[in-house]
Amino acid sequence: MTIELRHFRCFLAIAETLSITRAAERLHLTQPAVSRTLHRLEQELGIRLVDRSTHHLALTPDGRAFRDRARIAVTAFDRALATAHHTDWPLRLGHAWSAAGTDTTALLRRWREEHPGTPLELLRIDDRTAGLARGDVDAALLRGEVRAPGLVTEQLTTEPRVAGVPADDPLAGRASLSLAELTDRTIALNTVSGITTLDLWPAGARPASSITTGNADDWIAAITGRRAVGVTTSATAEMHPHPAMAYVPLTDAPPVPVVLAWRDEPGHPRIPDLIALARDVIGRATGGEPRRAR
């Protein structure tokens, strides 16, 4: 058997719905046809992708790993078709929040001046790798440690951490704050694309209460609505000023690395140009070599 794109699409439908029935409905196929396609794909790969031993279908570890690779392959195929009749091949740069901070405008304008034949599309995707790991973008500006396998990162700079508090909160008028001064407050945590966790506080001195959000907008809303306070970086203060929010420097929280990430495989031919421009515009904080995420 030759593996075809339809086998990938079928498996992805199963992986996303975790149901043969719903996958068949999505693909407009019969359930037996979906089951046969999955079985043939597993035979050809020589691995089991789906665990059918319980009442609830689940992906095996091999299935989860193959899902990520299949997404990249299908996305690349679809993008190739979409650009087949156009001379421009956009370079997609993802970010989860705040892009490159105040350097964002300079980065986009310099790119347009120096590479007018290749549009640079900045896309916010609420995901820890801003869509890079699943193939939605060609490169991404990310913050914090990046652990997704198959990615290469290069640190560009660091950003200091700040506390986000309601503008009418007593803490808003302070020149600076310590982490200990937030422990009796409810902390808003962006668990989808954010980098702050309760592990930022020392063990035994962590806040007892927290709420979770899924993106930067909801994080800001939780704070301005006086439900919580939060911790972020200076880029959020620069890119998301809000009349009901105050950002106060934190004196004892470590700075956050800002990295450019790309996949460790052949990709968009302009990625080396993007790396060079990001180094120039944003500025490298270290002299180290690009590193591969583990």
pLDDT at 2: 80
Q: Which residues of 94-124 are buried (b: 16+ CB within 10 A; e: fewer)?
A: bbbbbbbbebbeebbebbeeeeeebebebeb
Shared fold status for 91-156+258-283 and 161-249 = yes
Q: Is-above-0.85 flag for pTM?
A: no
Tens-place pLDDT, residues 51-88 = 987 678 899 999 988 888 888 788 777 766 766 555 56
Any idea which fold 161-249 has?
A: D-Maltodextrin-Binding Protein; domain 2 (3.40.190)
Q: Which pLDDT value is given to residue 285?
A: 46
129, 192 in Cβ contact below 8 A? no
270: Cβ contacts below 8 Å, ≥ 6 apart: 91, 115, 118
Out of 1.10.10.10, 1.10.533.10, 1.10.10.60, 3.30.460.20, which CATH number does the structure's domain 5-84 have?
A: 1.10.10.10
Residue extents of the structural domains in the chain: 5-84, 91-156+258-283, 161-249
User: Of 143, 139, 102, 110, nearest to 241 (Cα)?
Assistant: 102
CA 175-179-183 angle, to 5 degrees, is 120
Tell the CATH superfamily of the 91-156+258-283 domain.
Periplasmic binding protein-like II (3.40.190.10)
End-to-end, the C-alpha distance of the chain in Å comes to 33
CA separation for the pair 26, 219 (Å, rounded)? 33
| Tokens read off for 54 | 């319980």
Counting Cα atoms < 13 Å in the Cβ hemisphere of 163 gives: 30
pLDDT of 159: 97
Exposure of 2 by Cβ count < 10 A (0-12 exposed, 13-18 middle, 19+ buried)? exposed
Regions of the chain short of the pLDDT cut 50: 285-287
Tens digits of residue pLDDT in 56-65: 889 999 998 8
